[in-house]
Amino acid sequence: MSVSGTFDLRLHGGKAPPWLVSRMLKLAEGIFQVIYLEFGEIEILRRLSDPIWFQAVSNVLGYDWDSSGSTTVTSAVLKHVFNKNDLGIRAAGGKGKRSRSTLNEIDQLCEKNYDADPKELKYASRLVAKVDTSAIQAGYNIYHHMFFFTRSGKWAVIQQGMNIDLKSARRYHWFSGNVKSFVVEPHSGVIGDRVVSNVMNMVAYESEEARKVSVEIASEPISNLRKYLSLIEDSKQTTLTSFIDHSFKSIKHCKIVLEKNINWDALKVAYETKPSNFEQLLAIQGIGPATVKALALVSEIIFDAEVSKRDPIRYSFAFGGKDGVPYPVDRKKMDEAIDLLKFAIEHAKIGDKNKIVALRRLSIFMDKNFPQ
């Protein structure tokens, strides 16, 4: 996994003012035109999939460095810039309702002289959303999904989830060039403000056996899963009950709630189609958080298959802590990110005043997050 880190992404309400958005659009267009001409569209995707680099871009464009809105507003600005200009990249999706139109937008964009296969792109979009919604359950609900792709079909995704109770957000970054499997450590970075306990992480390396068992259970008659859940009712093992809800005081209660929310029709489809792996299972329409959670519960408690509780966030202070805790500062990666942005800003066809402001904001970003 590439660099992951922590930022205090507080949930801020309201909208970005028009004067700020217009300025962000002008700066973003200049910066990304330079990056495209010098390094190409694949490098842009790779950079967007780096959570630290993306945060730096957002800060340079003028958004609050510690706001959850930095993700949604910056992504919307980049979508406008990429879809308006010939930079080799198109973007679909966005925040809230807009995220649900991602698949239709991919179809529409691919009709306009794009060689990429829309079916493959839509499959990737769905799987990415499924993983961060259902396969990783840490209490954050996904509300933003932005899908970037090139003519050749390479893609990157930036999506964000919110935890209203904690008043915080976390951002998930994906890059097709890094994805060897959608369901085994697939992220290029996950960034947030805290490590969460009681996580169900079915895409961790450690959950390999649980993924296999879940597929086997889903390939059996659905009556078997009901039987397994009834066995859990009398079990004294409570390993995964904390994943359901902290207020539940008994496994019986967990079992009832699970059965109510499980998509039994989707499991019937799984039984009929016999998915050969966890990715195929997850791709079945209707296989959602409650169903994955039930399969994980049975896998661990009945079949003793470990389900990882490791939060996918690597809790660090941006590129690392100056005192080496929890990770040493990676000066090479830090300098790489900042040098590229400085280069792009200085060569962008924007006014001197905008260049000065952008460089100053980049300097402030560095001072706040990477103190000497």
Pairing of strands 141-150, 89-95: antiparallel
Question: pTM for this structure?
Answer: 0.85
CA angle 94, 98, 101 (to 5 degrees): 110
Q: What is the dihedral of CA 260, 266, 272, 273, to 10 degrees?
A: -140
Tokens 């990304």 correspond to: 32
DSSP 8-state assignment for residue 99: G
To 10 degrees, what angle do helices 289-301 and 208-218 make? Answer: 110
Return the SS3 of 348: coil
Give the pLDDT score at 75: 95
* Helix, strand, coil percent content, the chain, rounded in steps of 5: 50, 15, 35
145 in the Ramachandran plot: left (φ > 0), alpha (ψ -120 to 50) or beta? Answer: beta
Strand (E) or helix (H) holding 189: strand 189-191
| Distance (Å, whole) CA 193 – CA 181 | 26
Helices 251-261, 289-301: inter-axial angle, 10-degree rounding:
140
State residue 242's pLDDT score: 52
In single-letter form, the type of residue at position 134 comes to S
For residue 56, the model assigns a pLDDT of 84
Note whether 271 and 217 are within 8 A (CB): no
Residue whose C-alpha is closest to residue 274's, from 325, 225, 216 = 216
How confident is the model at residue 257, as a pLDDT? Answer: 53
- At residue 271, the pLDDT reads 98
CA geometry: angle 249, 250, 253, nearest 5 deg: 100
Q: DSSP 3-state assignment of 89?
A: strand
Question: Could you list the mean pLDDT of each consecutive 10-residue stretch along the chain, which spans 372 residues?
Answer: 41 58 87 95 95 86 62 93 95 95 96 86 98 95 97 95 87 96 95 84 97 98 93 59 44 58 96 98 97 94 94 59 48 75 89 85 71 52
Summary count for the chain: helices (H), strands (E)? 14, 7
Element (H, E) at 168: strand 168-175
Cα distance between the two ends of the chain: 25
Torsions phi, psi for 345 (to 5 deg): -65, -45
